[in-house]
């Protein structure tokens, strides 16, 4: 049965191949027909094969290059397919090598485990021994080689330490990668088995199939690689711990050898220097008396080198210690990150990280960079320079000796020995310098590594439990905690430590005791001085110095108890190796001093006739309420803090946790009670805020403020109950720090408002004095008012600062600055435990391309929040900074009001532009794209907003050039009036008819304008008058000259000009021209001069004739007779 079946299969396969050849022959024939006559036909080995190799790809590329029937673009795309095929083959080769590696790992694992176990079980350790014939240089060479080997071993140890977490992560990723690769392989197989695309040429089919088959090979190898990797990790799971043990053992051995080499080097250097010194001392007795100073100087150089050898050995030991700690910190950080990424953040991992963080905090203090190291380095560098100069001098002395000097000449031998000693000392000095520089660099690197690990822990384990959830069983630890706290022996240790501190540091202790006793002795006198300065502050002529003095004495009064507590803490913590109870009491006094300081300061500020009442103007109800409730809060809170910090050093962990939990909860509840009383919705604080400003946001948000300040401590207490003990402890500590910062900020704000009030008072007095002087001068000069006042035009108040408005703006700016400082301070205080900024920085909103390399820059939520903050600050600054500049800077200069107005306006525009650029920079808007944006905006402005932009720019030019100013009298077209306002887009001119003409700023710059008062307010007034033909012209001229000259407002220089202008129809016409010093009296002078002229003419019997007209009548008498009658009764001559 098998033979006929095989025969039938062969027949079927033969006929299938025959059909395939018959189907493909027309295609081949067509291809040969369309090919160029000179085209070379290259056989492609891929046509009858499912695998692809480099030769097949090269043959396909050559065939493609020889095919001239394809256009260039199609050839390029097909060449890209062949390049992709090459990359696929490269990936397959890499996978094949990895497969071999993983196979060898799995197959060699048993033998390797046996070998490592045998090596670990071997107790024989080859110790490094010093060769007696070794020189200093050879030992240094061995140290360098061993250091290199240690660095490699340390790197390998770190890799093996992080390898379990990496493998665990890979074992979780491999099934997903295998599934994705198999899915992609299936898709590629479907594309390979699919029929050729319609219209696709043979060259295209060949290139596409080459790329697909190479992709299939790469995927098959990748899947096999992933499976081999999975198997290798499982097979070597027991081998990895053994490899790590062996690596740690080798690292420790190399480190031990390095220490032995360093010690041997030091001993050899000391031995050689000691031998040299002994030889020099022996030779000192044999040299001539004249050469003994030179021999003695050689001994001094040797002693210097001996000292340097010892210092260099100590510096090298410190460097080795720092390097060891640095490597440990880096490995710990890498391992912690890998573990966190592999298993996630669990309570156990969080506790481990928190404990390690506490250890690293101590390391950061221990290995902090030394402040005096740079100074020492500079001193040693100078020493090197001095030694080099001395060596050069010795070289000159040797060269100056006669050439026939014998080799055994004592002086020559001493000089050569000195040269040798100096060279050796310089080498030792340089080696010491290199060690110090390396140690300094390593300290900074260690500090950075420690900070990086601490930040890593702070960002991840803040919300991890540090203790179990509270249970009633913990109450059983209260009794032993209280017994430990009241133990007489423990307090005897405290007393002994205080006495020991006083005896070991008598001078500083005496100074501290004297300072505290002085404060206590002068306490009543300080209170008396505060009351005196309070009485002085109520006087109208008080100065800010009274407020500053009262603040100083209030601070001194508030420092009495904190100084006492702080002195005790300093005495108890002066010795680091103290008993736990002594350390706990010392820390308790230190923290209690900080807690009491801020509360005592507020109490002293709220004293009768103190800062709050006499200087700051606080309401008595607020002041008395704060002072009353701060008494019990300070006592209760300080006591709880003292108990909490004292019990925090208890040797029993459970007692320590219970005591810390209960005291922390009690402190939070006491704080919540205090905040509830002070910030209740009916508190005098909010009542005062409402009286000052009914629309205040603080009053409208009083319920939210009360809820936050009262609810947060309760929430923190709940966290302590839930087991987040360290979290609650840190929150409480930061809350106290925040309170202290806000108290200081409150005092600074109150002082700023006090200074502003006094400054406002002084400016208002000076302004009132100046106004009174101006009024007196105006009354003495003339009782008449100015021209704008005559016609009732209200000018923009550019000549007079609006003090209430400036004061309001300045106070608002103080509020804004205080808010910014408070937010920044709180963010700085809380950033270590609540890295909200880092969290927001992980939220990417969009990405932009920046720079010439088009790097992708993410724009995060933090950037958006920063930009919003900048916009808020910009708005407040643009509104209030110009007023502040006007009040405190510009008014003290010689600039006139118009120039000050121009500067403040330009400042506002500048702030807006700068703020816009800052916001765009924060949002990573690339300047290249911004340039296109500006170009597009310019085009849009050129067409749509050209008038608005032109008027805006013209307004800036008006402020800078000032061709017109507020108060100027101008003539624009047919309108003459006073410039009453200059704004961003237009300028307002108020005519004499009280009509406002709004003129675009562009017209004032590009058009013609007559400014009567631009540079000179002297103006000419012309009056025309006619007299009867019978009048004497000379007499008329004399009368006009006399009338004009007698007027007090008419200027003598230029002198008035009276001319007989023309013969009118019925009068002799005269023109009176005279000049006025100002424009203010132009209307009034016109009236007064005209009145004086008519009165003078009447007195001289000179008449001003009426106009005469000849009237001709054309009348037809035959139809309508005209009656005419002459009336001579009113005829005038």
Cα separation, 283 vs 287, whole angstroms: 6
The per-residue pLDDT for 48 is 43
Cα separation, 1067 vs 994, whole angstroms: 36
Among residues 899, 927, 955, the one where a domain terminates is 927
Name which of 1055, 1098, 1101, 1100 is nearest 1074 in CA terms: 1055
Average model confidence (pLDDT) across the chain: 78
Name which of 931, 922, 917, 934 is nearest 857 in CA terms: 922
Residues 554 and 690 in one domain: no
Hey, what long-range contacts does 121-127 have (CB within 8 A, 24 or more apart)?
Answer: 125/253, 127/256, 127/257, 127/260
Q: Is the pLDDT of residue 925 over 90?
A: no
pLDDT tens, residue by residue, 675-705 = 999 989 888 888 888 887 777 777 888 898 8
Name which of 684, 670, 680, 698 is nearest 624 in CA terms: 684
* Residue span of the structural domain in which 360 resides: 293-307+325-460
Name which of 494, 246, 451 is nearest 363 in CA terms: 451
What is the value of pTM for the model shown?
0.54
Cα separation, 239 vs 169, whole angstroms: 18
Q: Is the pLDDT of residue 26 over 50?
A: no
The per-residue pLDDT for 947 is 66
CA distance readout (Å), 964 to 491, 902, 989, 1116: 84, 12, 11, 66
Q: Is the pLDDT of residue 12 over 60?
A: no
How confident is the model over 764-788, as a mean pLDDT? 61
The per-residue pLDDT for 631 is 92
Domain assignment present for residue 247? The answer is no
Residues 183 and 100 in one domain: yes
For 262-293, letters b (16+ CB in 10 Å) and e give bebbbebbeebbeebbeebeebeeebeeeeee
DSSP letters for 827-893: HHHHTTT--HHHHHHT-EEEEEEETTTTEEEEEEHHHHHHHHHHHHHHHHHHHHHHHHHHHHTGGGS
Residues 332 and 440 in one domain: yes
* CATH number of residue 1093's parent domain: 3.30.70.100
CA 579 to mean position of chain CA atoms? 43
pLDDT tens, residue by residue, 366-409 = 787 776 677 788 888 888 888 888 888 888 888 888 877 787 77
For 617-654, letters b (16+ CB in 10 Å) and e give ebbeebbbbbbeebeebbebbbebbbbbbbbbbbeeeb
What 3-state DSSP class applies to 691? helix
Cα separation, 655 vs 611, whole angstroms: 45
pLDDT tens, residue by residue, 1071-1095 = 999 988 877 777 888 898 999 999 9
Residues 229 and 183 in one domain: yes
Q: Is the pLDDT of residue 635 over 90?
A: yes
The neighbouring-strand residues paired with 1073 are 1022, 1057
Domain assignment present for residue 709? The answer is yes
Cα separation, 461 vs 463, whole angstroms: 6
Q: Is the pLDDT of residue 302 over 50?
A: yes
How confident is the model over 313-335, as a mean pLDDT? 83
What 3-state DSSP class applies to 924? coil
Residues 498 and 584 in one domain: yes
CA 561 to mean position of chain CA atoms? 38
pLDDT tens, residue by residue, 1090-1125 = 999 999 988 888 888 877 666 666 655 555 555 555
Q: Answer yes or no: are the C-beta atoms of 813 and 884 closer than 8 Å.
A: yes
Residues 672 and 634 in one domain: no
Residues 623 and 548 in one domain: yes
Domain assignment present for residue 408? The answer is yes
Q: Is the pLDDT of residue 504 over 90?
A: no
Comparing 205-209, 347-351, 855-859, the range with the smallest average pLDDT is 855-859
Residues 978 and 1056 in one domain: no
Q: Answer yes or no: are the C-beta atoms of 954 and 981 closer than 8 Å.
A: no
pLDDT tens, residue by residue, 706-757 = 998 899 899 989 988 888 877 787 777 788 788 778 878 888 888 888 888 8
Q: Answer yes or no: are the C-beta atoms of 1012 and 968 closer than 8 Å.
A: yes
Name which of 255, 647, 665, 307 is nearest 478 in CA terms: 647
Comparing 235-249, 670-684, 996-1010, the range with the smallest average pLDDT is 996-1010
Q: Is the pLDDT of residue 33 over 50?
A: no
Domain assignment present for residue 811? The answer is no
Q: Answer yes or no: are the C-beta atoms of 997 and 972 closer than 8 Å.
A: yes
DSSP state for residue 1061 in the 8-state scheme = E
Domain assignment present for residue 60? The answer is yes
Domain assignment present for residue 270? The answer is no
Q: Is the pLDDT of residue 23 over 50?
A: no
The per-residue pLDDT for 81 is 87
Domain assignment present for residue 730? The answer is no
Percent of the chain exceeding pLDDT 70 equals 81
How confident is the model over 46-53, as a mean pLDDT? 61
Domain assignment present for residue 887? The answer is yes
Residues 639 and 674 in one domain: no
The per-residue pLDDT for 556 is 92
Among residues 632, 649, 666, the one where a domain terminates is 649
pLDDT tens, residue by residue, 598-617 = 889 889 889 888 888 888 88
How confident is the model over 122-138, as a mean pLDDT? 73
Report which listed range, 633-647, 650-664, 833-847, is most confident.
Answer: 633-647
Domain count across the chain: 7
Residues 187 and 60 in one domain: yes
* CATH number of residue 990's parent domain: 2.30.30.60
Residues 493 and 449 in one domain: no
Cα separation, 776 vs 784, whole angstroms: 13
Residues 991 and 1060 in one domain: no
| pLDDT band with cut points at 50, 70 and 90 for residue 50 | low
Q: Answer yes or no: are the C-beta atoms of 857 and 850 closer than 8 Å.
A: yes
Cα separation, 1013 vs 977, whole angstroms: 12
Q: Is the pLDDT of residue 763 over 50?
A: yes
Q: Is the pLDDT of residue 1 over 60?
A: no
């Amino acid at each position: 049965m098998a033979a006929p079946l095989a025969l039938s299969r062969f027949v079927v396969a033969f006929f299938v191949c025959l059909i395939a050849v018959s189907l493909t022959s027309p295609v081949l024939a067509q291809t040969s027909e369309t090919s160029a006559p000179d085209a070379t036909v290259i056989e492609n080995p891929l046509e009858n094969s499912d695998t692809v190799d480099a030769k097949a790809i090269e043959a396909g590329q050559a065939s493609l290059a020889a095919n001239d029937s394809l256009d260039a673009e199609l050839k390029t795309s097909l060449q890209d397919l062949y390049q992709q095929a090459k990359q696929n083959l490269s990936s397959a080769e890499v996978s094949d090598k990895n497969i071999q590696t993983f196979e060898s790992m799995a197959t060699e694992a048993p033998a390797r485990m046996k070998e490592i176990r045998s090596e670990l079980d071997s107790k024989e350790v080859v110790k490094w021994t010093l060769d007696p014939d070794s020189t200093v240089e050879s030992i240094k060479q061995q140290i360098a080689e061993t250091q290199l080997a240690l660095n490699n071993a340390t790197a390998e140890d770190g890799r093996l330490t992080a390898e379990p977490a990496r493998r665990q992560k890979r074992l979780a990723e491999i099934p997903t990668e295998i599934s994705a690769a198999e899915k992609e392989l299936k898709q590629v197989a479907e594309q390979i088995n699919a029929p050729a695309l319609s219209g696709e040429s043979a060259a295209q089919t060949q290139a596409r199939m080459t790329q697909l088959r190479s992709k299939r090979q790469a995927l098959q190898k990748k899947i096999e690689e992933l499976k081999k990797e999975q198997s290798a990790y499982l097979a070597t799971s027991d081998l990895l711990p053994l490899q790590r043990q062996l690596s740690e053992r080798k690292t420790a051995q190399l480190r031990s050898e390095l220490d032995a080499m360093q010690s041997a080097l030091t001993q050899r250097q000391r031995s050689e220097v000691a031998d040299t010194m002994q030889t020099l001392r022996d030779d000192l007795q044999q040299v001539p008396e004249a050469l003994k100073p030179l021999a003695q100087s050689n001994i001094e150089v040797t002693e210097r080198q001996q000292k340097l050898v010892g210092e260099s050995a100590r510096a090298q030991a410190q460097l080795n210690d720092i390097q060891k700690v640095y490597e440990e910190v880096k490995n710990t950080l890498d391992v912690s990150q890998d573990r966190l990424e592999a298993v996630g953040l669990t309570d156990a991992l969080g506790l481990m990280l928190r404990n390690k963080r506490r250890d690293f905090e101590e390391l950061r203090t221990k290995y902090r960079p030394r402040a005096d190291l740079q100074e020492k380095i500079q001193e040693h560098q100078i020493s090197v320079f001095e030694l080099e100069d001395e060596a050069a001098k010795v070289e000159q002395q040797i060269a100056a000796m006669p050439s026939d000097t014998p080799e055994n000449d004592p002086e020559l031998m001493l000089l050569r020995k000195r040269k040798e000693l100096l060279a050796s000392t310089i080498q030792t000095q340089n080696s010491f310098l290199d060690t110090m520089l390396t140690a300094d660099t390593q300290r900074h690197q260690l500090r950075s590594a420690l900070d990086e690990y601490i930040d890593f822990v702070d960002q991840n384990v803040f919300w991890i439990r540090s203790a179990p959830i509270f249970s009633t069983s913990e109450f059983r630890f209260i009794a032993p905690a209280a017994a430990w706290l009241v133990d007489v022996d423990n307090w005897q240790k405290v007393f002994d430590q205080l006495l020991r501190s006083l005896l070991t540091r008598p001078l500083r202790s005496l100074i501290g005791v004297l300072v505290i006793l002085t404060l206590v002795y002068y306490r009543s006198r300080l209170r008396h001085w505060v009351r005196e300065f309070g009485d002085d502050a109520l006087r109208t002529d008080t100065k800010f110095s009274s407020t500053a003095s009262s603040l100083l004495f209030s601070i001194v009064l508030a420092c009495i108890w904190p100084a006492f507590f702080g002195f005790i803490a300093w005495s108890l913590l002066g010795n680091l190796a103290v008993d736990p109870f002594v350390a706990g009491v010392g820390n308790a006094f230190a923290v209690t001093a900080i807690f009491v300081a801020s509360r005592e300061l507020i109490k002293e500020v709220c004293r009768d006739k103190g800062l709050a009442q006499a200087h700051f103007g606080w309401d008595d109800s607020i002041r008395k309420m704060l002072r009353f409730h701060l008494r019990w809060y300070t006592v209760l809170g300080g006591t709880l803090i003292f108990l909490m910090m004292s019990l925090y050093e208890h040797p029993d962990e459970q007692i320590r946790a219970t005591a810390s939990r209960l005291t922390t909860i009690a402190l939070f509840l006491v704080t919540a009670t205090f905040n509830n009383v002070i910030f209740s919705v009916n508190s005098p604080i909010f009542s005062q805020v409402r009286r000052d400003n009914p629309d205040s946001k603080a009053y409208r948000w009083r319920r939210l403020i009360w809820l936050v300040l009262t609810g947060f401590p309760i929430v923190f207490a709940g966290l302590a109950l839930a087991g987040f003990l360290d979290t609650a402890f840190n929150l409480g500590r930061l809350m106290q720090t925040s309170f202290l910062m806000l108290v200081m900020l409150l005092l600074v704000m109150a002082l700023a408002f006090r200074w502003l009030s006094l400054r406002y008072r002084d400016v208002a007095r000076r302004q009132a004095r100046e106004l009174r002087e101006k009024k007196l001068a105006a009354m003495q000069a003339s009782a008449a008012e100015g021209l704008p006042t005559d016609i009732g035009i209200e000018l923009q108040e550019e000549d007079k600062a609006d003090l209430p408005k400036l004061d309001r703006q300045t106070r608002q700016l103080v509020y804004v600055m205080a808010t910014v400082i408070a937010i920044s301070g709180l963010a700085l205080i809380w950033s270590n435990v609540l890295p909200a900024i880092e969290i927001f920085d992980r939220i990417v909103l969009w990405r932009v391309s920046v720079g010439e390399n088009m790097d992708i820059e993410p724009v995060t939520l933090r950037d958006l929040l920063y930009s919003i903050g900048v916009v808020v600050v910009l708005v407040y600054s643009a509104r209030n900074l110009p007023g502040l500049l006007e009040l405190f800077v510009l008014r003290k200069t010689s600039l006139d009001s118009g120039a000050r107005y121009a500067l403040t306006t330009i400042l506002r525009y500048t702030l807006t532009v700068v703020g816009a650029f800052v916001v765009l920079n924060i949002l990573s808007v690339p300047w290249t794209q911004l340039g296109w944006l500006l170009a597009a905006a310019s085009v849009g402005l050129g067409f749509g907003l050209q008038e608005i932009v032109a008027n805006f720019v013209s307004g800036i030019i008006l402020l800078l050039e000032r061709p017109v100013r507020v108060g100027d009298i101008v003539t624009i077209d047919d309108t003459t009036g006073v410039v009453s306002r200059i704004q961003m887009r237009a300028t307002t001119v108020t005519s004499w008819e009280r009509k406002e003409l709004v003129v675009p700023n562009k017209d004032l710059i590009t058009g013609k304008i007559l400014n009567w008062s631009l540079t000179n307010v002297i103006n000419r007034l012309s009056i025309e008058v006619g007299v009867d033909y019978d009048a004497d012209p000379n007499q008329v001229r004399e009368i006009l000259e006399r009338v004009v000259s007698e007027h007090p407002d008419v200027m003598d220089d230029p002198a008035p000009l009276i001319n007989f202008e023309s013969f009118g129809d019925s009068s002799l016409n005269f023109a009176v021209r005279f000049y006025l010093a100002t424009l203010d009296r132009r209307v009034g002078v016109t009236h007064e001069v005209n009145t004086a002229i008519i009165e003078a003419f009447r007195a001289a019997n000179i008449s001003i004739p009426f106009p005469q007209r000849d009237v001709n009548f054309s009348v037809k008498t035959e139809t309508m007779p005209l009656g005419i009658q002459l009336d001579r009764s009113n005829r005038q001559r």
